Amino acid sequence: MKKLLLVFAALLGTVSLVCNAQAAGVITVGASPTPHAEILAEAAKLLKPQGYELKIVEYSDYVQPNVALDSKELDANYFQHKPYLDDFNAQKGTRLGSMGPVHYEPFGIYAGKSKSLKDLKNGALVAVPNDATNEGRALLLMQDEGLVKLKKDAGLTATRRDIVENPKKLKIEEIEAAQLVRSLPDVDIAIVNGNYAILGGLKVADALAVEAADSMAAATYANILAIRAGDEKRPELQALYKALTSPEVAAFMKKKYAGAVLPSVK
């Protein structure tokens, strides 16, 4: 009887080890549906032969993925850039970190009533995002295209008040980022973020101008794989980040999104 109990205990231990191994092979990641969840699904193909199963949980807002990561419901999330994460940590007292950048979504200038930047008339109406971060990016792109000149130290936090030269007296209208594509019939041009361009059916190839790959904004606002601070050396998260920044996933981004989503790691 004693021997039978010992054998039974050993079997239970073996089953427990197998279950733990299986659980250890599951990586649960929160993501925005487009393009993040789609990119993760592609990365999952590279993780499967390594013994990892990727469970993707989609979120429609920018708060719950970080709350879920902090409470250990997720192993990682993929939807945000580092400045947003830093601000979230400061506001919520969380300790979330980054495995590194994965991709960026370049801003583009899209035609509304005016079909080229050269055709912009004096007093033309220009729609830009109304949130501080994205408005700064839009104005920097306008400056790169010679449409306005900003204060020397304005940088990514620039607003309309930082415009020091506006030779065509362009009228800058601040609009909620999600509504910019809809505004195109009513404005001369609009400056739209990559993800909203995708959702609105716009193609970066048709943009009148696009943020440069080596721009300040592209480096600063790359979307990251976020984790809890201290988890950087977890092998499954290192494997996930390696898959997300692989040549295979980079090729998928370029083909799938036609320039609206570009890999950060070349």
pLDDT higher than 60, residue 227:
yes
Strand, coil or helix: 136? helix
The verdict on domain 108-210 having CATH code 3.40.190.10 is yes
Q: What is the pLDDT of residues 6-37, one digit of tens each?
A: 444 444 444 443 344 344 599 999 999 989 99
My answer on whether omega of the bond before 106 falls inside 30° of 0, hence cis, is no
Closest listed residue to residue 213, CA positions, set 164, 255, 249, 263: 263
For residues 124 and 142, is the Cβ–Cβ distance under 8 A? no
How remote is the C-alpha of 250 from its chain's centroid? 14
The pLDDT score that the predictor gives to residue 24 is 55
Q: 43-47, 59-63, 127-131 — which one is most confidently predicted on average?
A: 43-47
Percent of the chain, pLDDT > 90? 73
Pick the more confident residue, 53 or 24. Answer: 53
Pick the more confident residue, 249 or 87. Answer: 249
Tokens linked to 79 = 């939807």
Q: What is the pLDDT of residues 183-200, one digit of tens each?
A: 999 999 999 988 788 889
Tokens linked to 133 = 């971060």
| DSSP H helix total and E strand total for the chain | 10, 13
Q: Where in the chain is the domain with CATH 3.40.190.10?
A: 25-106+219-263, 108-210
Cα–Cα distance between 158 and 140 in angstroms, integer?
8
Give residue 236's pLDDT band: very low, low, confident or very high (50, 70, 90).
Answer: very high
The pLDDT score that the predictor gives to residue 18 is 37
Cα–Cα distance between 207 and 72 in angstroms, integer?
41
Give residue 251's pLDDT band: very low, low, confident or very high (50, 70, 90).
Answer: very high
Q: Mean pLDDT over all residues of the chain?
A: 90
Pick the more confident residue, 257 or 245. Answer: 245
The pLDDT score that the predictor gives to residue 199 is 84
For residues 125 and 171, is the Cβ–Cβ distance under 8 A? yes
pTM of the model: 0.76
Pick the more confident residue, 218 or 124. Answer: 124
Cα–Cα distance between 108 and 246 in angstroms, integer?
26
Q: 19-23, 202-206, 245-249 — which one is most confidently predicted on average?
A: 245-249
The pLDDT score that the predictor gives to residue 198 is 83
CATH match for 25-106+219-263 among 3.40.50.720, 3.40.190.10, 3.40.50.2300, 2.40.30.10: 3.40.190.10
Q: What is the pLDDT of residues 162-183, one digit of tens each?
A: 999 999 999 999 999 989 999 9
The pLDDT score that the predictor gives to residue 259 is 86
Question: Mean pLDDT across the stretch 50-78?
Answer: 97
